[in-house]
Amino acid sequence: GTLFLCSVFGFMYAENIPFADALYFSVVTVTTVGYGDIHPTTGAGKILATILILSGVCTFTIVLTSMTERLLNAREKRERLQRLNMVIGSFFSEVGTKLLFQISSLDTNLPTVQSRLANCGKWQAKDFAGVRQHMLNYPFEAQHAGNDLEELKQLLQTHTPFLMRILENPNMAEHEQFTDLMWATFHLKEELLNRSTLTDLPKTDLKHLSGDIHRVYKLLLSQWIDYMQHLQTDYPYLFSLAVRTNPFDKTSSAVVR
């Protein structure tokens, strides 16, 4: 901008032309159009025109390169996120939905959650946003016995190799929320595995485990809501199956009726 303004006044002085002609010549020069109807006749004007042409070409090249890089980076990021969404889909197919069902069965306020999440097949974008915000502040209270914790441990232990492969995926860094969910899930598994028994635990330890379960539940719910919205938008046929197997719908069935 500064160089362009200087060139206008420079041409006015060097070529002794009015402001309108100097502005016009500066524009056609910096854009490399060069109609030829106005051209510098003095040495100073020619030097100034040369500087302006070079700066215009350099600026255009830089802008074009920057735009190309941004487009390529955006495309690569979309492709990485698409691959990661496939990973998230396999997570819910293999263990996520089972884990959601298992943990939700410990929720003392499960009917409240079911009333909010059972009809996700009819949601619009605003509904997804509202439910997502509501579940972020959901007051989870777990009621579990030793056998509940044992079943949860067995579920996580059985699927540990699968979860490890997910955590090793190089695209994980693109999705902070899903990464947090994986770490929280692994932490819960380690907590459960490092106890010789899960029966007759003191209340303080049960409270501690409830906090770990709540962390996984909160992240899992949020990720499930995001995943359902993704399916509804991009893969309606997969969304149909996900709705029919909704872990919060007591009448759910994969069978189409």
pLDDT computed for residue 35 by the predictor: 52
How high is the pLDDT of residue 72? 66
Same structural domain for residues 226 and 157?
yes
Is 255 inside a domain boundary?
no
Average pLDDT over residues 120-130: 89
Q: Which of 143, 144, 160, 149 is nearest to 196 (CA)?
A: 149
pLDDT of residue 33: 67
Statement to judge: residues 103 and 138 lie in one domain: yes
pLDDT in the model for residue 50: 78
Do 35 and 91 lie in one domain? The reply is no
Query: Which amino acid type is present at position 244?
Result: R
Q: Which residues contact 249 (CB under 8 A, 6 or more apart)?
A: 114, 117, 118, 119
Judgement on whether residues 149 and 178 belong to the same structural domain of the protein: yes
pLDDT single digits (tens) 226-254? 999 999 999 999 999 999 999 888 888 88
Q: Are residues 117 and 13 in the same domain?
A: no
Report if residue 180 sits inside a domain. yes
pLDDT of residue 142: 76
pLDDT range class, residue 1, cuts 50, 70, 90: low
| Of 147, 160, 138, nearest in space to 102 by CA | 147
| Spatial CB neighbours of 189, under 8 Å, sequence gap ≥ 6 | 153, 156, 157, 160
Both tokens of 162, joined, read 């699968």
Same domain? 28 vs 124 = no
Q: How far apart are CA 216 and CA 10, in angstroms?
A: 67
What is the torsion angle, in degrees rounded to the nearest 10, for the CA atoms of residue 146, residue 149, residue 153 and residue 156?
Answer: 160
The predicted model scores a pTM of 0.69
Q: What does the pLDDT read at residue 181?
A: 94
Considering the domain architecture, whether residues 185 and 110 belong to the same structural domain is answered as yes
**Residue 254 falls inside a structural domain:** no
Domain end (from 71, 100, 129)? 71
Same domain, yes or no: 21 and 42? yes
Domain count, the chain: 2
Which tens digits make up the pLDDT trace of 18-38? Answer: 888 778 877 777 776 665 666
Residues 195, 176 contacting (CB under 8 angstroms): no
Quote the domain boundaries for residue 11.
Answer: 1-71
State which of 71, 104, 119 marks the end of a domain. 71
Closest CA to 243 of 105, 82, 97, 106: 97
Last residue of a domain, one of 10, 39, 71: 71
